[in-house]
Amino acid sequence: MEKILRINMGAGESPTFQVSPLGEFAGLGGRGLTSAVIAAEVPPTCHPLSAENKLVIAPGLLSGTMAAMSGRLSIGCKSPLTGGIKESNAGGQPAQVLARLGYAAVVLEGKPKRDDLFRIIINKDGVKIEVDNSLKGLGNYAAVERMRKEFGDHIVCISIGQAGEMRLTASSIACTDMEGRPARHAGRGGPGAVMGSKCVKMIVLDDTGMSTRQPRDPEKFRAANKIFIEGLRKHAVTGEALPAYGTNVLTNILNEAGGYPTYNFKEGRFAGASKISGETMASLEAARGGMATHGCHRGCVIRCSGIYNDKDGHFVSKQPEYETVWSHGGHCGIDDIDKIARMDFIEDDIGLDTIETGVALGLAMEAGLVKYGDADAAIDLLKEIEKGTPLGRIIGSGAAVTGRVFGLDRVPVVKGQAIPAYDPRAVKGLGVTYATSTMGADHTAGYATATNILKVGGFVDPLKPEGQVELSRNLQIATAAIDSTGMCVFVAFALMDIPETFTALIDMLNSLYGIDLTPDNVVELGQKILKIERDFNAKAGFTKEHDRLPAFFKAQAVPPHNVTFDVPDEELDKVFNF
Amino acid sequence: MEKILRINMGAGESPTFQVSPLGEFAGLGGRGLTSAVIAAEVPPTCHPLSAENKLVIAPGLLSGTMAAMSGRLSIGCKSPLTGGIKESNAGGQPAQVLARLGYAAVVLEGKPKRDDLFRIIINKDGVKIEVDNSLKGLGNYAAVERMRKEFGDHIVCISIGQAGEMRLTASSIACTDMEGRPARHAGRGGPGAVMGSKCVKMIVLDDTGMSTRQPRDPEKFRAANKIFIEGLRKHAVTGEALPAYGTNVLTNILNEAGGYPTYNFKEGRFAGASKISGETMASLEAARGGMATHGCHRGCVIRCSGIYNDKDGHFVSKQPEYETVWSHGGHCGIDDIDKIARMDFIEDDIGLDTIETGVALGLAMEAGLVKYGDADAAIDLLKEIEKGTPLGRIIGSGAAVTGRVFGLDRVPVVKGQAIPAYDPRAVKGLGVTYATSTMGADHTAGYATATNILKVGGFVDPLKPEGQVELSRNLQIATAAIDSTGMCVFVAFALMDIPETFTALIDMLNSLYGIDLTPDNVVELGQKILKIERDFNAKAGFTKEHDRLPAFFKAQAVPPHNVTFDVPDEELDKVFNF
């Protein structure tokens, strides 16, 4: 995994490619690699949809090995949603397969002058870039199905739906899961629009004939992986809650905590929460022949994903994640889990970030376009996106544009990206992350819910401003490092509570590469990545004034705790004091 | 004119008002006053449509006197289009009338909780704030007509159309002209959306019983005014070109200079220019019983406005300004002056900035939504705005949103505001103004066309980067000062070439107020205003990275001169070195 594949979509008559050593980027993977390439090669003030932007697709440092949980794929670019740097990562199969094929990164560069749509095929024999205009206008499911018919069911796909083709700024990039479904998405920040601007609809990966990456010290690696897995199985969150109920276990927890944003962040509890909770979902899945415990990629041992069927036992969607259930649920006042699952499928198919889209749907309700709680009307709005109508394009452009076009003044975004499923006033550590993350509002960038609500890694009172900056800072640093390994961020629960699990992770890296990382080096890596990203954003025009929540979170208290966001601005400005 | 009227639209049961002395703002007028109030009282990071924003309406220091040309009205707010501070000024009657009524400023504050629409009536007896929901959904023309029926033809109106009610970010605020038509607009930056967010549809002004403001030294004032008028009559631009052909005299001039942006800034000359030029327009106006030489407010001696009739002699619109003719003309590839005039009327009626809207229409053409040159399709798009359809709301949100929603990467905006009718690559002094103005792209903020193209105040080669920063800096400073006097910015042509005219302007201020301003003081005033505005913008999150043109102006050369914008970034950063 020491080579980088660069595809120049803007080259003369037709695209060209070049495979070269990692060079100056050697030793980097995942988010560390995507952010380094973007920072080094993309002008921070370029238009995100112009030829100057690049799309960097990178497995993590441990991807393609036997390491459990190492299947996250990082996708980086200058974000058309935020205007800043972006790394969005997804589960599914591509990270493992791309790593086994030996690529540390695939970089899409330039922009074709012609109006063709391309597919890229990467296998042991090399790389092919082909025009395939028959893919135009297809949803992810149909596009992937066509590829599987042509190349076989063993292939793995990275693709965009109609939203990406339209270059809508809420568009995602889909990765196929273990069942070959395009259900795992690099959702946040509109990376699908960048892929669409490069006119690449589909990347087909086939690792037939390739083998698992071999560690320098196989024995030490195996032993460390074993300890690592034991830690994950032992921890209550990764060993019990997540496998049993998926991420949607959080609906009841956040609702109970009064931090479940309801009706566009007007309330902190939703009356319909129990109808859409993870517990309800898991029992429906069991009763209907779906699956409540399931992994999204080979090597997953947490298995928080699932398969959601309708009452007749037919596939509806992969089990929707907590944030998806929330953005269409409490945020929109919808308490019908079947319809939420249906929307999850439609958005996966069109290729949309379910957080950004759900929040935009809620804003359409706030604007009076459709009624709060009207799931059928929300589904109709999604069909507008699929068709590319003006209304669909508004919603598909995300929350900030939807709020702007409909003249709203309560628009929950930071750096143009929608705030997800945890009210920053009632989970203040996450509020600090939303405000200051280089990514715009992003719960995964420094998941303070862990310590604020789940009491993992200690406890910091979620309702008080004290201690939140330090909590968010440490989590943001750790997350940037974890996002470089290819590890699912959920391993952090065990890392935070079980010292041996953390040591085992470092041991895996060391035995894989024959290096000698220390825990301090991991912190340094995380800090370095954040600094690279923050420097890019500064050059793109971001200041401390962008490290703020929308003013209404300071002015309007949220029930039931009647709290505002009261972490002082000067404290927010200390997050990156390292 | 020493009092300030503050209207709290968000007060308890119904709005309240308070009249108080100018206090800390004494000695300020026009843009100097609006920017000082906004900077002192509006949180720079507030949402522009929230209760925290204010709308400040201020005549200039000389408004309401016998001074020629003193009828510009400044309207300030935090702009919903740019997110920065905004002063947009308009001609028409309100500045003179408001000044005669004794108000240095009217400030709309807060935001009603109810869904009512209000009108405000200000006359010699005081102030009335009344609910008038019968005005809902009316265009400016119908709304004003209704007021004139109720209060008489002598009233003067400040109003918003449907766009402002919808809080669209391209919406303007209309001021009635000498014929009582709502044809003069504070267009740029979306001030109509702020007025709409305060739920104020209409301000009716009646100066019956009030008299012209009397100078401290009437004799000196009269003498200065005479010299001032002589200067304006003597100068080729203000004494000949503007009265004969209006601002649209520039179409042929800019086209000849290769700086007439055509087909969304792809070319610098438009084949249809002569069909929509000021010369063509003036001869049509003469032939059809319109008027080619006409003043937009009492006391205007340049008389660059006009009245445009159709071939049957019926009123179509006021004579469209050069920038309006351009944004619908060359930018959209439309060469039908009748249809351009029709669009001017529709946009005045709906209450839209004709620059922002025209540029957005061109982007809809770039996106393939309608064809370049199709005027009827463009008119249909305007009807969508009037109806408030999703497509209409997109266009009515301006160029940046339209470009975003339709996935374009050539979007000519600075700080979110559309670049007007002078290609920054071929009129580089204006390029510097676009990039660095506190207002976003705004030709009036430092009108370098004067020296680049018209050779007023000397000559700086428009195609070379040298000297443009100094030119733009000096013009921006002078303009900020002129915008505070209530003087039409066109007086600057004479001020730049005729020293006595400049002295006469200062003499008018001195004899009016009994003060002792020097030319240096005028420069200091301009600098002070720019610093206040720039400081607000910095606190709102603007950096030097926002003082840049879109990247494509650097990368793509414009014919016929095949020039790019090559004023170095480091030079742009020196504009505010004072």
What would the pLDDT profile of A335-386 be if each residue is shown by its tens digit? Answer: 999 999 999 999 999 999 999 999 999 999 999 999 999 999 999 999 999 9
Please, which pLDDT band fits residue B1 given cuts at 50, 70 and 90? confident
Q: What is the pLDDT of residue A157?
A: 98
Q: What is the pLDDT of residue A260?
A: 98
Nearest CA to B75 out of B106, B111, B42 is that of B106
Whether the Cβ atoms of residue B193 and residue B171 lie closer than 8 Å to each other? yes
DSSP label of A321: P
The two structure tokens encoding residue B143: 């709304």
In angstroms, the CA B267 to CA B265 distance is: 6
B538 CA: distance to closest CA in chain A (Å): 8
Q: What is the 3-state secondary structure (H, E, C) of A412-456?
A: CEECCEECCCCCCCCCHHHHHHHHHCCCCCCHHHCCCHHHHCCCC
Nearest CA to A36 out of A53, A20, A24, A44 is that of A24
Query: How far is residue B190 from each of residues B75, B186, B439, measured CA to CA in Å?
Result: 11, 9, 12
Q: What is the pLDDT of residue A114?
A: 81
pLDDT-above-90 percentage for chain B: 99
Whether the Cβ atoms of residue A449 and residue A431 lie closer than 8 Å to each other? no
The two structure tokens encoding residue B125: 């007896």
Instruction: Let me know the angle formed at the C-alpha of A111 by A107 and A112, rounded to the nearest 5 degrees.
Output: 120
In angstroms, the CA B235 to CA B484 distance is: 23
Contact A405 B393 (CB under 8 A): yes
A535 CA: distance to closest CA in chain B (Å): 13
Max intra-chain CA distance, chain B: 62
Q: Is the pLDDT of residue A1 over 90?
A: no
Whether the Cβ atoms of residue A188 and residue A353 lie closer than 8 Å to each other? yes
Which chain A residues are closer than 8 Å to B49 by Cβ?
407-409
Residues whose CB falls within 8 Å of the CB of residue A267, separated by 6 or more in sequence, listed in order = A261, A558, A559
Alpha helices in B216-332 (DSSP H): 218-234, 236, 242-245, 250-256, 278-287, 322-328
Nearest CA to A197 out of A113, A81, A127, A86 is that of A113
Mutate to test the interface with B, among A111, A409, A547, A549 (most CBs of B within 10 A): A409
Residues B516-545 have a mean pLDDT of: 97
Whether the Cβ atoms of residue A556 and residue A424 lie closer than 8 Å to each other? no
Whether the Cβ atoms of residue A393 and residue B405 lie closer than 8 Å to each other? yes
Contact A404 B169 (CB under 8 A): yes
CA trace torsion B336, B340, B341, B345 (10° rounding): 150
Helix (H) or strand (E) holding A291: strand A291-294
In angstroms, the CA A518 to CA B306 distance is: 77
Q: What is the pLDDT of residue A12?
A: 84
Per DSSP, the three-state class of B350 is helix
Alpha helices in B10-51 (DSSP H): 30-41
Whether the Cβ atoms of residue A356 and residue A188 lie closer than 8 Å to each other? yes
Helix (H) or strand (E) holding B85: strand B85-90
Mean pLDDT score of chain B: 97
B98 phi and psi angles, rounded to 5 deg = -60, -40
DSSP label of B332: T
Residues A385-402 have a mean pLDDT of: 98
Domains of chain B: 3-205 (3.60.9.10), 216-245+424-578 (1.10.599.10), 260-423 (1.10.569.10)
Residues whose CB falls within 8 Å of the CB of residue B521, separated by 6 or more in sequence, listed in order = none
Which chain B residues are closer than 8 Å to A166 by Cβ?
407
Alpha helices in A136-199 (DSSP H): 140-151, 162-165, 191-197
A13 phi and psi angles, rounded to 5 deg = -70, -45
The answer to whether the peptide bond before residue A519 is cis (omega within 30 degrees of 0) is: no
Q: Is the pLDDT of residue B13 over 90?
A: no
Residues B361-389 have a mean pLDDT of: 98
Max intra-chain CA distance, chain A: 62
Separation of CA A188 from chain center: 6
Please, which pLDDT band fits residue B114 given cuts at 50, 70 and 90? confident
Per DSSP, the three-state class of A256 is helix
Q: What is the pLDDT of residue B531?
A: 98
Q: What is the pLDDT of residue A5?
A: 98
pLDDT single digits (tens) A34-56: 999 999 999 999 999 999 999 99
B37 phi and psi angles, rounded to 5 deg = -65, -45
Tell me the one-letter amino acid at A346: I
Residue in chain A closest to B367 (alpha carbons) equals A166
In angstroms, what is the C-alpha Rg of chain B? Answer: 22
Residue in chain B closest to A81 (alpha carbons) equals B404
In angstroms, the CA B216 to CA A149 distance is: 90
Residues B415-436 have a mean pLDDT of: 98
In angstroms, the CA A194 to CA A176 distance is: 19
In angstroms, the CA A413 to CA B379 distance is: 34
Contact B546 A541 (CB under 8 A): yes
In angstroms, the CA B186 to CA B503 distance is: 29
Sheet holding B118-123, edge to edge: B126-131, B118-123, B200-205, B156-159, B173-175, B184-186
Q: Is A118 exposed, middle or buried (0-12, 13-18, 19+ CB in 10 A)?
A: buried
In angstroms, the CA B281 to CA B276 distance is: 7
Helix (H) or strand (E) holding B156: strand B156-159
CA trace torsion A315, A321, A323, A329 (10° rounding): 40
Mean pLDDT score of chain A: 97
Mutate to test the interface with A, among B405, B539, B565 (most CBs of A within 10 A): B405
Helix (H) or strand (E) holding B20: strand B16-21
User: B16 forms bridges with which residues in the sheet?
Assistant: B8
Sheet holding A118-123, edge to edge: A126-131, A118-123, A200-205, A156-159, A173-175, A184-186
Helix (H) or strand (E) holding A131: strand A126-131
Separation of CA B74 from chain center: 9
B165 CA: distance to closest CA in chain A (Å): 9
B456 CA: distance to closest CA in chain A (Å): 35
pLDDT single digits (tens) A440-491: 999 999 999 999 999 999 999 999 999 999 999 999 999 999 999 999 999 9
A139 CA: distance to closest CA in chain B (Å): 18
In angstroms, the CA B194 to CA B107 distance is: 12
In angstroms, the CA B118 to CA B163 distance is: 16
The model carries a pTM of 0.97
Q: Is the pLDDT of residue A113 over 90?
A: no
Nearest CA to A247 out of A175, A347, A323, A172 is that of A323
Mutate to test the interface with B, among A81, A82, A160, A404 (most CBs of B within 10 A): A404
The two structure tokens encoding residue A554: 């300071």
Helix (H) or strand (E) holding B158: strand B156-159
Which chain A residues are closer than 8 Å to B167 by Cβ?
407
Q: How many helices (H) and strands (E) does chain B have?
A: 24, 17
Residue in chain B closest to A412 (alpha carbons) equals B47
Annotate B409-418 with b (16+ C-beta within 10 A) or e (fewer). Answer: bbbbbbbbbb
Whether the Cβ atoms of residue A160 and residue A196 lie closer than 8 Å to each other? yes
Count of beta carbons in the 10 Å neighbourhood of residue A152: 10
Per DSSP, the three-state class of A28 is coil
pLDDT single digits (tens) A6-22: 999 999 889 999 999 99
Contact B46 A167 (CB under 8 A): no
Contact A193 B407 (CB under 8 A): yes
Question: Is ipTM strictly over 0.85?
Answer: yes
Helix (H) or strand (E) holding A292: strand A291-294
Residues from B contacting A (CB-CB < 8 Å) are: 43-50, 52, 80, 166-169, 193, 196-197, 389-391, 393-394, 397, 401, 404-411, 538-543, 545-546, 548, 550-552
B394 CA: distance to closest CA in chain A (Å): 6
Q: What is the pLDDT of residue A208?
A: 97
Q: What is the pLDDT of residue B310?
A: 97
